[in-house]
Amino acid sequence: MQTALPDLLTICHPLCVMMKRETLAIADIYVPIKRRATLEQKRVDEIAASMLDDGQRTPILVRADGARFVLVEGLHRLEAAKALGEKTIVGFLVSARKH
């Protein structure tokens, strides 16, 4: 007797689904006003210094919104990249609800 194996994606989602790293144009990333209010310049400076030494270690998270992206996570990394004059940043495109 053969039993049907359940779809593994159904069992372990979202752990089995790998997000794809993408290089995003910084100019295409919108930062919501409420998120901008949480900016701490000291953290931006520290992350920028780290990026100079080690590069960007942790991708930001964005969601698609038409032709642009909306920042979900990574404000200080994004601002550090801007401060360093970067035109692109590594990020993950995620599905997220609008707030």
Indicate which CATH number applies to the domain containing 83: 3.90.1530.10
Decide the pairing of beta strands 88-93 and 21-25: antiparallel
User: Does the pLDDT of residue 49 top 60, yes or no?
Assistant: yes
Terminal alpha carbon distance of the chain? 50
**Contact of 28 with 65, CB cutoff 8 Å:** no
Q: Percentage helix, strand, coil, to 5, in the chain?
A: 35, 25, 40
Q: Please tell me the distance from the alpha carbon of residue 29 to that of residue 35, in angstroms, as a whole number.
A: 13
Is 98 within a domain?
Answer: no
Whole domain around residue 85: which residue ranges? 19-93
Q: Please tell me the distance from the alpha carbon of residue 82 to that of residue 87, in angstroms, as a whole number.
A: 7
Is 50 within a domain?
Answer: yes
Split into its structural domains, the chain has a count of: 1
Is 53 within a domain?
Answer: yes
Is 84 within a domain?
Answer: yes
Is 11 within a domain?
Answer: no
Q: Token match 């990026």: residue?
A: 51
pLDDT of residue 69: 95
53 band by pLDDT with thresholds 50, 70 and 90: very high
Is 78 within a domain?
Answer: yes
Is 63 within a domain?
Answer: yes
Instruction: Report the predicted TM-score, pTM, of the whole model to 2 decimal places.
Output: 0.77
Q: Can you tell me the mean pLDDT for 65-88?
A: 95
Is 10 within a domain?
Answer: no
pLDDT of residue 2: 45
Q: Can you tell me the mean pLDDT for 34-63?
A: 94
Q: Can you tell me the mean pLDDT for 73-93?
A: 96
